[in-house]
A and B are shown apart, each in its own frame.
Chain A
Amino acid sequence: MNDRAAIEGTYMPMGHTATAQAGSGGLTATEHRLANGLRVVLSEDHLTPVAAVCLWYDVGSRHEVKGRTGLAHLFEHLMFQGSAQVKGNGHFELVQGAGGSLNGTTSFERTNYFETMPAHQLELALWLEADRMGSLLTALDDESMENQRDVVKNERRQRYDNVPYGTAFEKLTALAYPEGHPYHHTPIGSMADLDAATLEDARAFFRTYYAPNNAVLSVVGDIDPEQTLAWIEKYFGSIPGHDGKPAPRDGTLPETIGEQLREVVEEEVPARALMAAYRLPHDGTRACDAADLALTVLGGGESSRLYNRLVRRDRTAVAAGFGLLRLAGAPSLGWLDVKTSGDVEVPVIESAIDEELARFADQGPTAEEMERAQAQLEREWLDRLGTVAGRADELCRYAVLFGDPQLALTAVQRVLEVTAEEVQEVAKARLRPDNRAVLVYEPIAPADPEAEGAEGTEDPESAATVEATDENEEAAK
Chain B
Amino acid sequence: MTELATMDFHPQPQGGEPKPWAFPAPERGTLGNGLTVLRCHRPGQQVVAVEVLLDAPLDAEPAGLDGVATIMARAFSEGTDKHSAEDFAAELERAGATLDAHADHPGVRLSLEVPASRLAKGLGLVADALRAPAFADSEVERLVRNRLDEIPHELANPGRRAAKELSKELFPAGSRMSRPRQGTEETVTAIDAAAVRAFYERHVRPATATAVVVGDLTGIDLDALLGDTLGAWTGSAAEPRPVPPVTADDTGRVVVVDRPGAVQTQLLIGRIGPDRHDRVWPAQVLGTYCLGGTLTSRLDRVLREEKGYTYGVRAFGQVLRSAPDGTGAAMLAISGSVDTPNTGPALQDLWTVLRTLAAEGLTDAERDVAVQNLVGVAPLKYETAAAVASTLADQVEQHLPDDYQATLYRQLAATGTVEATAAAVSAFPVDRLVTVLVGDAAQIKGPVEALGIGEVSVVAAE
Contacts and interface: CB of A to CB of B under 8 A. Distances in A.
Nearest to B378: A476
A148 B6 CA distance: 26
Contacts of B409: 476
Interface string B318-347: 110000000000000101011100000000
B95 A375 contact: yes
B376 A98 contact: yes
A158 B337 contact: yes
Given A96-B369, A154-B310, A120 B294 contact: no
B76 interface: no
A148 B149 CA distance: 39
Nearest to B285: A476
Ranked 9 nearest A-B pairs via Cβ: A99-B376, A150-B308, A135-B5, A134-B7, A375-B96, A270-B152, A49-B19, A303-B89, A120-B16
Given A121-B376, A240-B6, 9 more contacts: A47-B43, A118-B379, A134-B6, A239-B7, A302-B77, A311-B146, A376-B96, A382-B46, A467-B294
A269 B155 CA distance: 10
Nearest to A143: B306
A222 B142 contact: no
A13 interface: no
A270 B155 contact: yes
B5 A151 contact: no
B83 to A, nearest CB: 11
B384 interface: yes
B202 interface: no
B189 to A, nearest CB: 13
Contacts of A341: 145-146, 149
B263 A379 contact: no
B224 interface: no
B17 A120 contact: yes
A157 B264 contact: yes
Contacts of B96: 375-376, 378-379
B8 interface: yes
Contact of B305 (A147, A162, A368): A147
A97 B369 contact: yes
Nearest to A83: B5
Interface in B3-53: 3-10, 12-13, 15-21, 43-47
B295 A315 contact: no
Contact of A138 (B5, B10, B304): B5
A139 B378 CA distance: 33
B339 A138 contact: no
Interface stretch (A355-363, A397-405, A449-457): A449-457
A119 interface: yes
Nearest to A93: B296
A228 to B, nearest CB: 12
A258 interface: no
A163 interface: yes
Interface string A307-350: 01001100100100000000000000000000101100000000
* A: interface residue count bin: 35 or more
A303 B86 CA distance: 6
Nearest to A124: B13
Contacts of A379: 47, 96-98, 113-115
A146 interface: yes
Interface of A: 25, 45, 47-50, 84-85, 88-89, 92-94, 96-101, 116-121, 123-124, 127, 130-131, 134-135, 137-142, 146-151, 153-155, 157-159, 161-164, 203, 222, 231, 234-235, 237-240, 269-271, 301-303, 308, 311-312, 315, 318, 339, 341-342, 368, 371-372, 375-376, 378-379, 382-383, 386-388, 446-447, 449, 451-454, 456, 467-468, 470, 472-477
B158 interface: yes
Contacts of B335: 472
17 contacts: A89-B301, A99-B372, A131-B9, A150-B308, A151-B305, A162-B158, A231-B13, A271-B153, A302-B93, A315-B145, A318-B153, A372-B90, A375-B115, A383-B113, A453-B259, A477-B319, A477-B408
B376 A386 contact: no
A375 B376 contact: no
Nearest to A203: B3
Contacts of B384: 386-387
Given A120-B16, A341-B145, A312 B47 contact: no
B89 A123 contact: no
Contacts of B285: 476-477
B157 interface: yes
Contacts of B296: 89, 92-93, 96
Given A92-B296, A147-B306, A473-B293, A303 B93 contact: yes
Nearest to B260: A447
A394 to B, nearest CB: 15
B373 interface: yes
Contacts of B333: 472
A451 B262 CA distance: 10
A50 B383 contact: yes
Given A270-B153, A476-B408, A100 B377 contact: yes
A386 B46 contact: yes
B238 interface: no
B115 A157 contact: no
B235 to A, nearest CB: 27
B94 interface: yes
A462 to B, nearest CB: 14
Interface string B396-409: 00000000010011
A50 B261 contact: no
Interface string B144-172: 01100110110111100000000000000
Contacts of B305: 88-89, 147, 151
A470 B314 contact: yes
B85 interface: yes
A85 B293 CA distance: 25
- The CB with the most chain B CB atoms within 10 A, among A25, A446, A452, is that of A446
A120 B90 CA distance: 45
Contact of A164 (B92, B157, B317): B157
Contacts of A312: 85-86, 142
Contacts of B310: 151, 154, 158
Given A84-B9, A470-B314, A475 B157 contact: no
B391 interface: yes
B461 interface: yes
B312 A470 contact: yes
A161 B263 CA distance: 7
B340 to A, nearest CB: 9
A154 B311 contact: yes
A50 B152 contact: no
Contacts of B316: 470, 472-474
B381 interface: yes
Contacts of A48: 21, 44, 379, 383
A351 B46 CA distance: 41
Contacts of A468: 311-312, 314
Given A48-B21, A164-B156, A315-B145, A150 B309 contact: yes
B10 A137 contact: no
A94 B19 CA distance: 19
A473 B317 CA distance: 8
B248 interface: no
Given A158-B337, A303-B93, A238 B373 contact: no
Contact of A383 (B7, B47, B152): B47
Contacts of A447: 260-261
B93 A138 contact: no
Contacts of B306: 147
Contact of B19 (A131, A222, A302): A222
A101 B381 CA distance: 9
A334 to B, nearest CB: 19
Given A134-B7, A376-B96, A140 B2 contact: yes
